Amino acid sequence: MFHSVLIANRGEIALRIQRACRGLGLKTVAVYSEADRDATYVRHADQSLCIGPAAASESYLNQAAIIMAAKLTGAGAIHPGYGFLSENAGFAERVAQAGLTFIGPSAACIRVMGDKVAAKRAMRSAGVPCVPGPDSALPNDADAIRGLARAIGYPVIVKAAGGGGGRGMRVVETEDALADALSVTREEARRSFGNAKVYIEKFLGSPRHVEIQVLADMYGNVVWLGSRDCSLQRRHQKVLEEAPAPGIPDALLAEVGARCVEACKQIGYLGLGTFEFLVEDGAFYFIEMNTRLQVEHPVTEMTTGIDLVQQQIRVAGGERLGFSQADISCRGHAFECRINAEDTERFMPSPGLITRWELPGGPGIRIDSHAGACYRVSPHYDSMIGKLIAHGETRADALARLRIALDEMQVEGIATNLPLHRRLVRDEAFVAADVDIHHLEHRLRDGGRG
Ligand code: ADP
């Protein structure tokens, strides 16, 4: 096992990983850009090194600088967090070649899952239910493609195999629109994703987004750690998440969870991973796997009582899982609100100096944030400045705590999406757990903003 971990990330997740390391008695190395020089987690790290200017391309994405920093500080492992280099197979490979431990799955697993066609094929062969449609890239023959689309039935969605962040997808309602959608998506795939492959599948009209958390060690032990519902999204970005996914029969969840475990065994998966599904009319359809720690991991921690980040580090260091599937249960319910520095009138980022920062508290309330009064939100990075998590015995209890916490939390100096969250936790359909992935955007369109 390594003794020191370099955290190749910033913000709330850098702090979260640092806490996990300290809890395990590991030393931490913070690498930071010039914009993050004054961050609290940089001060708390055992060692810290500036790796470049504010622009992520020159700092948090600078692979050579990060590996050099690990060498210089004697770190034995690199934790990539989420975003930045966390799903970069080339980086995982370079870390391993440098004789360091990458806290995540193998480069080969990251590569397979980073290609959505390859991922779908792997999942289907492991018995994971997928969205109807072929698990191969589209051919060049227009007649053959029309035949495939007809067999699936309209509407269909054309997707780039290498797409991400909600880009590289086009819904096609009728056959007339197919050729155009295909050529635009092919062009985008070539230009933006460096992977020209596109594929086609059934477009689901009003699904929910449900995901399954998994954890695997190096010895073939794999568990699934419950479900999360992340249907409240804007532009495919999650806004508010919960665990467990409400209203899904335990037996169905257990069946899907067992398939995910089986898939992990087949591909030799290591560490934390998330299987993302669309769920419609009670059926699960796999869309993609994230081969990293997720932003929304705290709701799973609150409902399982398991520190996911510590587990992720332990298995990367070669430890065996200390529990089996039978030891895992779901206790109560948890919600997470992503607090963004953004103006929800126009959804514009709102960087600047935080002048007031009052946090909520009380039973079941958790805050994961690196921000505080006098913290300056940088315009260079993602606008998320923290996460407010609420746990309770039942969904209604957790929601009641979350409402109070949102009312208590006060941030001034910058605009935040707190008003939007306060509205969402009182939204009739959300309270009734009756929302699909379009709900938030429909509400924003119909009912004013936050
Ligand atoms: P990304 O990697 O860009 O996040 P995903 O494949 O996870 O792409 O899809 C992102 C979102 O696009 C989904 O959460 C869903 O809202 C929508 N989507 C993707 N595939 C389908 C589909 N077959 N039917 C309906 N919506 C879809």
Mean pLDDT confidence for 410-432? 98
283-290/333-340 β-pairing: unpaired
Determine whether the shortest distance from the Cβ of 203 to ligand 1 is under 6 A: yes
Please give the number of the atom of ligand 1 that sits closest to the Cα of 167.
Answer: 3
Determine whether the shortest distance from the Cβ of 296 to ligand 1 is under 6 A: no
SS (H, E, C) 209-266: EEEEEEEECCCCCEEEEEEEEEEEEECCEEEEEEECCCCCCHHHHHHHHHHHHHHHHH
Catalytic residues: 292
Please give the number of the atom of ligand 1 that sits closest to the Cα of 207.
Answer: 25
% of the chain residues with pLDDT over 90: 96
Mean pLDDT confidence for 416-443? 97
Q: Which residue has the tokens 């190395």?
A: 29
User: What's the number of CA atoms in the CB half-sphere (13 Å) around residue 74?
Assistant: 5
Q: Which residue has the tokens 């009641």?
A: 400
> How sure is the predictor about 446, in pLDDT bands with cuts at 50, 70 and 90?
confident
* pLDDT, averaged across the chain: 96
Please give the number of the atom of ligand 1 that sits closest to the Cα of 165.
Answer: 3
Looking at residue 228, its pLDDT comes to 98
Whole-prediction pTM value? 0.96
For 63-97, how does the pLDDT look when each residue is reduced to its tens digit (9 = 90+)?
Answer: 999 999 999 999 999 999 999 999 999 999 999 99
C-alpha 239 to ligand 1 mean position (Å): 15
pLDDT at 209 over 50: yes
Mean pLDDT confidence for 247-265? 96
Beta-carbon contacts of residue 444 (< 8 Å; ≥ 6 apart) = 234
Please give the number of the atom of ligand 1 that sits closest to the Cα of 203.
Answer: 24
Looking at residue 450, its pLDDT comes to 44
Determine whether the shortest distance from the Cβ of 165 to ligand 1 is under 6 A: yes
Looking at residue 71, its pLDDT comes to 98
Which residue has the least CA distance to atom 23 on ligand 1?
203
Which residue has the least CA distance to atom 12 on ligand 1?
166
Determine whether the shortest distance from the Cβ of 209 to ligand 1 is under 6 A: yes
| Residue 144 CB neighbours (<10 A) | 11
Determine whether the shortest distance from the Cβ of 164 to ligand 1 is under 6 A: yes
Mutate to test the pocket of ligand 1, among 236, 285, 294 (most ligand atoms within 8 A of CB): 236
% of the chain residues with pLDDT over 70: 99
For 18-37, how does the pLDDT look when each residue is reduced to its tens digit (9 = 90+)?
Answer: 999 999 999 999 999 999 99
Mean pLDDT confidence for 269-276? 98
Looking at residue 448, its pLDDT comes to 54
